[in-house]
Structure 1
Amino acid sequence: MTSIILIISMIFLTGYSFVNIERYSKIHYVLNKHIIEKSIHYWNNFINDSARKYNIENKLIKSIIYAESSGNPYAKSNSNAIGLMQIKPSSAGVEIYRLNGKKGQPSIQELYNPKINIDMGTAYIRLLQKKLFGIRNKDVMKYAMIVSYVNGVSALLKIFSKNRQEAISIINTMTTKTFSEYVKKNIQQNRPLIT
């Protein structure tokens, strides 16, 4: 599933089009690209506000929403990732709370609120960007952030090297295509998208 998320995100970021995406969970979903984009468009004001606030490209935010929830603010995964940007309260939620000087973790009710979810998801992208500091190619950085958003920074870097600096150095020798191919081949995680 991780490969599917990466491919969909990369396709969306580069502007290529495709007809349908199929996702399976308790119910079989067939989602049309036009319907998903219309749903995401509904959240544009929140996306643009968060993009400005955290200096993150709004197209990157949209691609994560597209891949993670298909624009469904009520999406919830088997691993308890919630809302448009599929925030896990006990991991990304805790990190963003801590970053904002709060204790604990966001409530499920907060994460189902599209404005809060997009703000927290975008803050988390910004945090990942800082953790991946040193990747020079901007396109590789975008894809590294997407993979890290889904799997975690350590899972991404470990497929290159156990040493963070060495992993970044290896990534810096790659083109966007070789990075993408390497990640698809080596990242290991099966995670359902929507339940």
Structure 2
Amino acid sequence: MKKRALLLSLLLLSGCSREFVEKFYDVDYAATNRFAKNLAPLPGQFTKDSAAFDRLMSNFSGQVKRYWGDNDSLVSGKRQYVKYTDGYKSRAHVDFVRGVVIVETVATTEPENHLKEAITTTLLTPDNPGGVDLYSDSGIDFNGKPFLYGQVLDQQGKPIEWSWRANKFADHLINTGLKKRKIRYQQAYYVEIPMVADHANKRGYKYASIVRDASRRYGIPEDLIYAIIKTESSFNPYAVSHANAYGLMQVVPNTAGADVFKLVKNKSGKPSPEYLFDPAKNIDTGTAYFYILRNRYLKDVRDPLSLHYSMISAYNGGTGGVLKTFHRDRKRAMNDLNRLEPNQVYWALTNKHPKAEARRYLQKVTTFQKEFNQGKI
């Protein structure tokens, strides 16, 4: 009885109705330990380019560790932007989860001057991921509105767009908020800049017209596109991952990207990282992949809401992972899935999916969809 009560509570917390919960308790379906065969790989899986990516990262990491050591080396990811400059002696770290920008230097001569330059560079970095090399210490061309515009305010509460304001704010930060810490055998000088409370919303608003166009083009709901972007990258257009996924919707060129080129764009090859760092092209590609999921790989899912949950889960964990949740045989899995109510499909994918990450992913995306429709993103 305790197990039954616990199960009922968990289902109710997941948003299921009491009538459904009572009905679901007696549903019988099989879960297996093998993926269905001959299904398209999806974003989040390693690709053949992993070896080249690893070589690039190895060379880059070696340069970084010369100055920052093993314990303090940082690399850009899905939810953090890291850019090294000044011969790897200075860096910017934008933590989109914590909502803070950390700029620091380990320069040994005139460190405050190096830090000021790093701060202004960070504040004026343009909203153009394709023009910023995250895996070198190369300089940045300040052309266009800064990426952090409106997400960081200066000491007067003003957004920072021009060099004169960036320089004055840098002086203020160094005079009032300079901090020091030990990195290996040297002193690091740094400042922390808080981001505004709704920094994620401000990033998201910039893509409203792009999301709207992609939604109309492929018939995919806007709230789903927004929820995927927030889940995948927190609206960070510079997002990269260890799995060679790029940009706002974390598209992998060799898998989802190649499928979109072939099945939607009617062109050969695959998108380049530069292509996917363009927000408009990235959102178009990610949304087009949902079109493929809906109309090709998961077209046999009959209930629209069950299809919706399956598409979200497949975007992260693969079509094979979705079907494996229900049965090892593809036809049997699809039949079993179609026998269930949408809430049952949701419960299965968030409790029985073979990958824990995919179980959490569906929960996150559906939560963010609700927030979008409540005006929170």
Match of 2:270 among 81, 105, 115: 105
Task: Name which one, 1 or 2, has greater alpha-carbon Rg.
Answer: 2
**One-letter code aligned to 1:30:** R
Query: Which position in structure 2 is the counterpart of 1:3?
Result: none
Instruction: Indicate the residue corresponding to 1:114 in structure 2.
Output: 279
Letter in 2 for 1:84: L
Matching residue's letter, 2:302? R
Conserved? CA contact 2:79–2:233, under 8 Å: no
Deviations, residues 46-74 of structure 1 (Å, cap 9, x unaligned): 11111111111111111111111111111
Distance 1:69 1:33, change over 3 A: farther
- Deviation of residue 103 (structure 1)? 1.7
Report the alpha carbon displacement of residue 177 of structure 1 after superposing the two structures with TM. 3.0
**Aligned position for 2:98:** 30
1:167 counterpart residue number: 333
- Aligned to 1:180, the other structure's residue is in SS state helix
* Structure showing greater relative contact order (alpha-carbon pairs closer than 8 Å, 6 or more residues apart): 1
Contact 2:79 2:236 in 1 (8 A): no
SS at match of 1:53: helix
Identity across the alignment (%): 31
Q: Which residue of 2 aligns with 1:147?
A: 313
State which of 273, 283, 294 in structure 2 corresponds to 1:129: 294
Equivalence for 1:51: 215
Partners of 1:71 and 1:37 lie apart in 2 by 8
When residues 178 and 72 of structure 1 are mapped into structure 2, their CA distance, relative to the original with a 3 A threshold, is same
- How has the CA–CA distance of structure 1 residues 98 and 146 changed in structure 2, closer, same or farther, with 3 Å as cutoff? same
Instruction: Write the letter of the residue equivalent to 2:232.
Output: E
Structure 2 gap segments, 5+ residues each: 1-13, 16-77, 83-92, 100-195, 362-377
CA distance in 2, matches of 1:41, 1:33: 14
Partners of 1:60 and 1:140 lie apart in 2 by 14
Partner Cα separation in structure 2 for residue 177 and residue 35 of structure 1: 33
Shift in Å at residue 118 of structure 1? 0.4
Give the structure with the larger helix fraction.
1
Q: Aligned residues, how many?
A: 173
Q: Kindly state the Cα deviation for residue 38 of structure 1 after the two structures are TM-superposed.
A: 3.0
Taking the aligned partners of 1:40 and 1:155, their CA distance within structure 2 comes to: 30
Is 1:80 matched up with 2:244?
yes
Alignment match, 2:234: 70
68-77 vs 168-177, which deviates more?
168-177
Partner SS, residue 98 of structure 2: strand
Question: Which residue of the partner structure matches residue 49 of structure 2?
Answer: none
Question: Normalization by structure 2: what TM-score?
Answer: 0.42
Query: Root-mean-square deviation (CA), in Å?
Result: 2.9
Aligned partner of 2:224 in structure 1 is 60
Q: Which amino acid aligns with 2:312?
A: I
Higher mean alpha-carbon deviation, 171-180 vs 142-151, is at 171-180
- Structure 2 counterpart SS, 1:172: helix
Structure 1 runs, 4 residues or longer, greater than 6 Å off: 23-28
- 1:24 deviation in Å? 8.0
Q: Normalising to structure 1: TM-score of the pair? A: 0.77
State the secondary structure of the residue aligned to 1:146.
helix
